[in-house]
């Protein structure tokens, strides 16, 4: 006895304190969250599977059946290699419906609270031997190390800190499915410690007892060969049965279900366990035979009853004893904590709450929390009592195998949940009761009551009488279970509720969830309804929590949204009180409208298909690809498209329609047509009721402006069991409408223009007459005043002739009169004349005109046409100017160009029409005052002169007004006679 | 999904053939670490399939 009792208890207390501090560090945020949520930490936490059986029981088993001990590790490794096929579907179910235990899953699938109760009872009976095994190893290990103390009392001492740790880090919330980072981290640390301790023990055996791997191999093929030959070999059937038992334990054991499905940080982390957890188990299994062989090498009798604790004998060092003790303590404490948590939840949801529904009680959350904590303590004390009365008398293998065979009775039911939608409650219960009864009679009761196993061997299987009881009971119980399950399921009727749940659970079922409208109209209505069951405070909190999780508004009245809200509330209540109670509450207080006809929930089906996309193969994958292609085509169609179901529920609102309406499809899909935002509800209802298949150019006031929409409708009649639908296409014809209006306007103006040209032609004749008469008058008088008047009349008649000529020219395609010769034109004289003519007009008399054009600056051009340009521009400037403001003309030379500018201080040009100024009929003047032909004419003339025009409004050196700058080709040629603006053409 | 089928095939195939494997492990003269080597190989295969699955589902 190398270690004192006080010392070993201090070591144990120190270890548990270290685990507590690690968990505390995580809770206080001293450890980076990224590290806690790393998939590796989750994989380590699954090491809770490696209980005290893995540390002590495996050595005992290896001493009896050699490599057969590996079944414990290989069975569960096989289950984790099938993570994507088996564990991910269960995890998805557990997460979606907030199912925290095997009993929750069974109660949800088979739609019966009694099924949950039955599973809880069987799990409770099955797990007690396993819990007793953990306590037994602790008490026995200390007793073996120290020779002092009673193993039973030592085990009781362990119960206290275990219960405290379980409550502190696993029962902080009333919702069981809430992830506990602290718990996850604590269990991961425990797994790491036991792995390190086991590897260290293996190292001691390999290099302390043997002289390395080669020495071990030589011993095995030499002196150790006889010892190995004496070890019994497992028969093929027994080996396979063991593998199957441990395979089932991977997801049926309450602690494994809890860690694998409730504490999963992400799907990615779960998928990674497919190789990381088997690797962990490989490392845990590796030292087991090394310890056994080392003990054999040292001459220790490994066939004696204490073979489980051989690790304490391979060295005389207290450090090695301490390592073996810590490995066992880490394994036992982790399993005890998680099993206690999981079982407490199961007992609460499926025994306590079923017997005493919570009702409308104040402080419901607190009541549930304390109930759960009390149950954790009760489970641990129950385990101790079982150990004290039963476990103390049996070895580890008997206790462990009884537990694993018992829990395996749930395997047929679980496989049916995933792969057999036809299974029903009656079949499952009959099979489970039959299998469990055979197990109780064959293994559990003999353990408790200490009598010979009662193995009921059916006729024809007499060979089983000679087999070990665990093997015979496993085969008979499971065969009976499966056979009865299948037969009863086939001959009895499955309820609608079960069928729906089976579809939700089944991996390959054709999921066609039905939808019914709820009696509640909005999310807000849920609160008073639920308050009847839960009290107003809890109801408010649950509804708000579900709304927040779904990112919905409490005023959202979409049937689809309300159904999702109801499902979410049911799932959340399931996490709080178990699926049975949760279903009772929502069925009673959040009912569907009873007179409505159930229809397929296509939107939900689509979201499910999207979620399961990666799992399709072959034809299903092809079909899904085709579905996605068609959906994408509709979604990205450049024309607005919406689809309504027969009952007016919106199924699709594509991207083009979202852009046109400025309403996001996600926010309204699932709404009824009448609940759509204005003006869509009224417009689409009108289209729906319209006998014709179209509505042409409907004026619709959208947020920004008036738009003209054309709607087309296609009614899809129901066929082959599929429901009908109404497809509506929405085309925006606003541009087309505006173009049509513009065309009509232009046509009207063109008619006026043709009329004006005709009138102008008619005016030409009298003007010619006036011109001739003025010529005569000039010859007939010498009165200077009369001569000046005659001169001015002559100029004006010439101008009228030019205007008439230009108007006719514009009417004939905007070309000026042919035959004009470009000559040097002096801008100063040209601008003076333009101003002179402008001043003759009565309007604009109070405008100040400044002409800063320098004399001598010339351009090449047609003086008449350029004069017309200037008159137009100055006239525009005058019309835009307020009385008393200035209109300035200026000119300057720049290389081969002359820049002539007309600047006013008027109201400027509106930006919206600036780009269209040179288009005909564009005007800034009030209706009736401008034709919109002036600037197009100016532009046309400038293009004839190879010049350009530039508009600044306002000019850079002014805060208002407009400056129009003409770029004209400069000439240096001096031809003073050629630039006479009044020259006749 | 094809990878899932490979895994199913591996696990159930291994389950059926495991007695034969086990009899090989305990042959006199066999290396003591042989079962762990086979197990390690299976884990390596699982890692490879996991990488393939990620690529397949990307």
pLDDT digits (tens, 9 = 90+) for A80-91: 988 888 888 888
pLDDT in tens, A496-535: 778 878 877 766 554 455 566 777 878 888 888 888 888 8
Same domain, A791 and A692: no
A480 token code pair? 């009976």
Q: Do A228 and B26 touch (CB under 8 A)?
A: yes
Supply angle C-alpha A366, A367, A368, rounded to 5: 90
Same domain, A837 and A965: yes
3-state secondary structure at position A966: strand
Place of tokens 């665990």: A470
Q: Determine the distance in angstroms separating the CA of B46 from the nearest CA of chain A, rounded to an integer.
A: 6
Does residue A952 sit within a domain? Answer: yes
Same domain, A128 and A158: yes
Supply angle C-alpha A663, A669, A671, rounded to 5: 100
User: What is the pLDDT of chain A when averaged over all its residues?
Assistant: 84
pLDDT of residue A540: 86
Same domain, A703 and A826: no
pLDDT of residue A980: 44
In chain B, which residue's Cα lies nearest the Cα of A73?
Answer: B39
Q: Determine the distance in angstroms separating the CA of B9 from the nearest CA of chain A, rounded to an integer.
A: 10
**φ/ψ (deg, to 5) at A25:** -60, -40
Q: pLDDT band for position A243 (50/70/90)?
A: very high
Same domain, A154 and A253: yes
What percent of chain A is predicted at pLDDT more than 90?
30
pLDDT of residue A680: 87
A682: CB partners within 8 A, 6+ apart: none
- Whole-number Å distance between alpha carbons of A816 and A823: 16
SS (H, E, C) A221-270: HCCCHHHHHHCCCCCHHHHHHHHHHHHHHHHHCHHHHHHHHHCCCCHHHH
Same domain, A240 and A252: yes
Same domain, A196 and A321: yes
Out of A195-204, A226-235, A540-549, A669-678, give the one with best mean pLDDT: A195-204
Does residue A12 sit within a domain? Answer: yes
Domain count, chain A: 5
Same domain, A158 and A63: yes
Supply angle C-alpha A752, A753, A758, rounded to 5: 95
ipTM attached to this prediction: 0.89
Rounded to 10 deg, the angle between the A102-110 and A496-505 helix axes is: 130
Q: How many CA atoms does the CB half-sphere of A208 hold within 13 Å?
A: 20
Question: Does the pLDDT of residue A577 top 70, yes or no?
Answer: yes
- Whole-number Å distance between alpha carbons of A556 and A554: 5
pLDDT of residue A977: 47
Question: Does the pLDDT of residue A611 top 80, yes or no?
Answer: no
* Facing residue for B11 by CB, picked from A82, A271, A285: A82
pLDDT in tens, A867-925: 888 888 998 888 888 888 899 999 998 878 899 999 998 888 877 777 777 766 566 66
Ordered by start, the domain boundaries in chain B are 2-57
Supply angle C-alpha A264, A95, A543, rounded to 5: 125
**φ/ψ (deg, to 5) at A476:** -65, -45
pLDDT in tens, A386-412: 999 988 888 888 899 999 999 999 999
Average pLDDT over residues A761-769: 81
Q: pLDDT band for position A795 (50/70/90)?
A: confident
Q: pLDDT band for position A440 (50/70/90)?
A: very high
Does residue A476 sit within a domain? Answer: no
Question: A77: closest CA among A268, A338, A280?
Answer: A280
Q: pLDDT band for position A179 (50/70/90)?
A: low
Least confident of A347-351, A748-752, A759-763: A748-752
Q: pLDDT band for position A173 (50/70/90)?
A: low
Contact between A251 and A86 under an 8 Å Cβ cutoff? The reply is: yes
In chain B, which residue's Cα lies nearest the Cα of A226?
Answer: B28
pLDDT of residue A524: 84
Q: Is A250 left (phi over 0), alpha (psi -120 to 50) or beta?
A: alpha
* Facing residue for B8 by CB, picked from A82, A275, A621: A82
Question: Does the pLDDT of residue A979 top 50, yes or no?
Answer: no
- Whole-number Å distance between alpha carbons of A426 and A355: 22
What is the per-residue DSSP string for A577-615? H-HHHHHHHHHHHSPBPTTSPPEE-HHHHHHHHHHTGGG
Does residue A585 sit within a domain? Answer: yes
pLDDT of residue B6: 73
**φ/ψ (deg, to 5) at A812:** -95, 30
- Whole-number Å distance between alpha carbons of A106 and A410: 9
Same domain, A759 and A644: no
Does residue A434 sit within a domain? Answer: no
Average pLDDT over residues A283-290: 95
Q: Where are the beta strands (DSSP E) in A308-360?
A: none
Average pLDDT over residues B10-38: 79
Largest CA distance in chain A: 158
3-state secondary structure at position A196: helix
Does residue A490 sit within a domain? Answer: no
Q: pLDDT band for position A976 (50/70/90)?
A: very low
Same domain, A728 and A743: no
Does residue A42 sit within a domain? Answer: yes
Q: pLDDT band for position A931 (50/70/90)?
A: low
What is the Rg, in whole angstroms, of the alpha carbon atoms belonging to chain A?
Answer: 48
Distance of CA A229 to the CA centre of its chain: 60
Question: Does the pLDDT of residue A721 top 70, yes or no?
Answer: no
- Whole-number Å distance between alpha carbons of A281 and A194: 11
In chain B, which residue's Cα lies nearest the Cα of A241?
Answer: B15
Task: Give the CATH number of the domain where residue A921 resides.
Answer: 3.30.565.10
Place of tokens 């991910």: A88
Q: Do B56 and A614 touch (CB under 8 A)?
A: yes
In chain A, which residue's Cα lies nearest the Cα of B8?
Answer: A82
Q: Do B32 and A217 touch (CB under 8 A)?
A: yes
Contact between A47 and A263 under an 8 Å Cβ cutoff? The reply is: no
pLDDT of residue A328: 94
pLDDT of residue A207: 94
* Facing residue for A239 by CB, picked from B18, B28, B33: B18
Does residue A215 sit within a domain? Answer: yes
A558 token code pair? 């979409």
Chain B positions with Cβ closer than 8 Å to A: 1-4, 7-8, 10-11, 14-15, 18-19, 22-23, 25-26, 28-29, 31-33, 35-36, 39-40, 42-43, 46-47, 50, 53, 56-57
Size of interface A-B (CB pairs under 8 A): 86
pLDDT in tens, A812-829: 544 444 455 678 888 898
Same domain, A950 and A905: yes
Q: Determine the distance in angstroms separating the CA of B47 from the nearest CA of chain A, rounded to an integer.
A: 6
Pairing verdict, β A886-894 and A848-851? parallel
pLDDT of residue A985: 33
Question: Does the pLDDT of residue A353 top 80, yes or no?
Answer: yes
Question: A72: closest CA among A82, A57, A83?
Answer: A57
Question: A68: closest CA among B55, B49, B19, B9?
Answer: B19
Handedness of CA A507, A509, A515, A519 (dihedral sign): negative
Least confident of A67-71, A103-107, A615-619, A665-669: A615-619
pLDDT of residue A720: 66
pLDDT of residue A562: 82
Q: Do A279 and B43 touch (CB under 8 A)?
A: yes
A303: CB partners within 8 A, 6+ apart: A63, A64
Question: Does the pLDDT of residue A692 top 60, yes or no?
Answer: yes
Question: Model pTM?
Answer: 0.66
Same domain, A770 and A871: no
- Per this entry, what is the length of chain A? 985
Tell which wins on pLDDT, A443 or A359.
A443
Handedness of CA A794, A795, A796, A797 (dihedral sign): positive
* DSSP state for residue A676 in the 8-state scheme: S
pLDDT of residue A17: 93
- Whole-number Å distance between alpha carbons of A839 and A878: 10
What is the per-residue DSSP string for A770-781? HHHHHHHHHHH-
Question: Does the pLDDT of residue A177 top 60, yes or no?
Answer: no
Please count the helices (runs of H) and the strands (runs of E) in chain A: 41, 14
Q: pLDDT band for position A215 (50/70/90)?
A: very high
Distance of CA A87 to the CA centre of its chain: 22
pLDDT of residue A704: 67
Q: Do A239 and B36 touch (CB under 8 A)?
A: no
Task: Give the CATH number of the domain where residue A19 resides.
Answer: 1.20.1730.10
A764: domain range? 735-796
- Whole-number Å distance between alpha carbons of A24 and A26: 5
Question: Does the pLDDT of residue A789 top 90, yes or no?
Answer: no
In chain A, which residue's Cα lies nearest the Cα of B35?
Answer: A67
pLDDT of residue A756: 72
Decide: residue A510, CB within 10 A, 0-12 exposed, 13-18 middle, 19+ buried. exposed
- Whole-number Å distance between alpha carbons of A928 and A373: 90
Tell which wins on pLDDT, A61 or A504.
A61
């Amino acid at each position: 006895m190398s270690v004192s009792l006080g010392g070993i208890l201090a070591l144990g207390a120190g270890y548990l304190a270290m685990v507590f501090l690690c968990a505390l560090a995580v809770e206080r945020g001293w450890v980076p969250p990224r590290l806690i949520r790393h998939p590796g930490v989750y994989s380590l936490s699954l090491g809770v599977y490696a209980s005290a059986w893995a540390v002590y029981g495996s050595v005992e088993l290896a001493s009896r059946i050699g490599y057969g001990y590996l079944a414990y590790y290989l069975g569960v490794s096989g289950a984790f290699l099938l993570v994507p096929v088996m564990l991910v579907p269960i995890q998805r179910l557990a997460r979606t419906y907030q199912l925290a235990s095997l009993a929750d899953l069974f109660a949800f699938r088979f739609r019966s609270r009694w099924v949950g109760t039955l599973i809880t009872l069987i799990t409770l009976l099955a797990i007690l031997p396993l819990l007793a095994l953990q306590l037994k190893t602790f008490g026995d290990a200390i007793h073996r190390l120290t020779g002092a103390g009673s193993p039973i009392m030592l085990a009781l001492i362990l119960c206290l800190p275990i219960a405290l740790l379980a409550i502190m880090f696993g029962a902080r919330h009333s919702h069981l499915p809430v992830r506990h980072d602290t718990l996850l981290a604590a269990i991961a640390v425990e797994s790491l410690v036991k792995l390190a301790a086991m590897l260290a023990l293996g190292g001691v055996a390999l290099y302390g007892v043997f002289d390395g791997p080669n020495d071990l191999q030589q011993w095995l093929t030499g002196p150790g060969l006889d010892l190995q030959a004496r070890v019994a070999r497992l028969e093929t059937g027994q080996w396979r049965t063991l593998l199957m038992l441990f395979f089932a334990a991977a997801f049926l054991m309450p602690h494994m279900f809890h860690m694998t499905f409730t504490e999963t940080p992400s799907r990615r982390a779960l998928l990674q366990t497919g190789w990381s957890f088997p690797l962990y188990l490989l490392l845990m299994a590796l030292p087991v035979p090394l310890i056994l062989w080392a003990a054999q090498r040292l001459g220790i009798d490994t066939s004696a009853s204490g073979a489980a604790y051989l690790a304490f004998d391979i060295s005389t060092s207290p450090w090695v004893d301490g390592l073996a003790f810590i490995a066992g303590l880490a394994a036992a404490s982790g399993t005890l904590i998680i099993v206690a948590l999981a079982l407490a939840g199961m007992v609460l949801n499926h025994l306590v709450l079923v017997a005493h529904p919570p009702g409308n009680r104040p402080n419901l959350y607190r009541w549930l929390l304390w109930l759960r904590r009390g149950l954790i303590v009760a489970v641990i004390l129950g385990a101790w009592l079982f150990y004290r009365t039963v476990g103390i008398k049996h070895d580890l293998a008997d206790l462990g195998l009884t537990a694993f065979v018992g829990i395996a009775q749930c395997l047929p039911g679980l496989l049916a949940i995933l792969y057999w939608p036809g299974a029903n409650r009656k079949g499952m219960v009959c099979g489970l009761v039959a299998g469990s009864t055979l197990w109780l009679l064959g293994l559990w009761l003999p353990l408790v009551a200490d009598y010979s196993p009662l193995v009921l061997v059916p006729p024809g299987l007499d060979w089983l009488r000679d087999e070990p009881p665990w093997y015979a009971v496993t085969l008979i119980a499971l065969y009976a279970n499966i056979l009865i399950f299948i037969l009863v399921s086939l001959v009895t009727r499955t309820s609608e509720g079960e069928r729906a749940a089976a579809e939700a659970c089944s991996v390959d079922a054709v999921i066609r969830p039905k939808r019914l409208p709820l009696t509640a109209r909005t999310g807000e209505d849920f609160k008073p309804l639920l308050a009847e069951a839960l009290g107003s405070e809890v109801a408010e909190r649950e509804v708000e929590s579900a709304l927040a999780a779904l990112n919905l508004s409490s005023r959202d009245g979409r049937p689809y949204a309300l159904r999702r809200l109801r499902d979410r509330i049911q799932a959340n209540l399931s996490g709080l009180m178990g699926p049975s109670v949760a279903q009772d509450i929502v069925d009673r207080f959040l009912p569907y409208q009873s007179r409505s006809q159930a229809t397929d929930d296509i939107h939900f089906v689509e979201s499910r298909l999207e979620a399961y996309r990666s799992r399709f193969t072959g034809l299903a994958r092809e079909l899904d690809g085709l579905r996605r292609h068609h959906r994408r085509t509709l979604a990205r169609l450049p024309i607005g498209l919406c689809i309504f179901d027969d009952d007016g529920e919106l199924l699709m609102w594509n991207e083009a329609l979202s852009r046109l309406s400025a309403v996001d499809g996600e926010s309204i899909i699932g709404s009824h047509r009448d609940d759509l935002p204005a003006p869509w509800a009224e417009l689409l209802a009108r289209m729906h009721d319209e006998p014709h298949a179209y509505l042409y150019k409907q004026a619709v006031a959208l947020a920004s402006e008036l738009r003209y929409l054309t709607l087309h409708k296609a009614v899809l009649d129901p066929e082959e069991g599929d429901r009908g639908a109404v497809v509506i296409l929405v085309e925006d014809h606003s541009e087309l409408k505006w173009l049509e209006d513009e065309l009509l306007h232009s046509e009207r103006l063109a008619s006026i223009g043709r009329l004006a040209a005709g009138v102008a032609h008619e005016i030409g004749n009298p003007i010619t007459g006036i011109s001739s008469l003025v010529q005569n008058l000039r010859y007939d008088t010498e009165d200077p005043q009369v001569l000046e008047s005659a001169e001015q009349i002559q100029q004006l008649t010439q101008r009228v002739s030019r205007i008439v000529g230009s108007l006719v020219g514009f009417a004939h395609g905007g070309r000026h009169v042919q035959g004009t010769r470009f000559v040097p034109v002096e801008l100063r004289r040209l601008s003076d004349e333009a101003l002179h003519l402008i001043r003759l007009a009565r309007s604009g008399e109070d405008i100040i005109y400044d002409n800063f054009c320098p004399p001598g600056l010339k351009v090449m051009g047609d003086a008449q046409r350029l004069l017309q340009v200037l008159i137009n521009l100055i006239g525009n400037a005058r019309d835009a100017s307020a009385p008393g403001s200035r209109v300035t003309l200026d000119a300057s030379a720049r290389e081969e160009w002359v820049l002539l500018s007309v600047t006013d201080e008027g109201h400027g040009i509106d930006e919206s029409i600036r780009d269209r100024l040179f288009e005909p009929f564009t005007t800034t003047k009030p209706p009736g005052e401008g034709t919109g032909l002036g600037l197009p004419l100016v532009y046309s003339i400038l293009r004839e002169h190879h010049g350009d025009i530039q508009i600044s409004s306002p000019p850079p050196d002014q805060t208002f007004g407009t400056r129009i700058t003409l770029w004209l080709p400069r000439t240096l040629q001096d031809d003073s006679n050629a630039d006479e603006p009044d020259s006749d053409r | 999904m094809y990878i899932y089928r490979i895994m199913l095939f591996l696990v159930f195939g291994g389950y059926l053939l495991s007695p034969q494997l086990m009899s090989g492990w305990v042959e006199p003269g066999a290396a003591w670490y042989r079962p762990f080597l086979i197990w390690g190989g299976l884990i390596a295969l699982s890692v490879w399939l996991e990488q393939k699955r990620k690529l397949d589902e990307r």
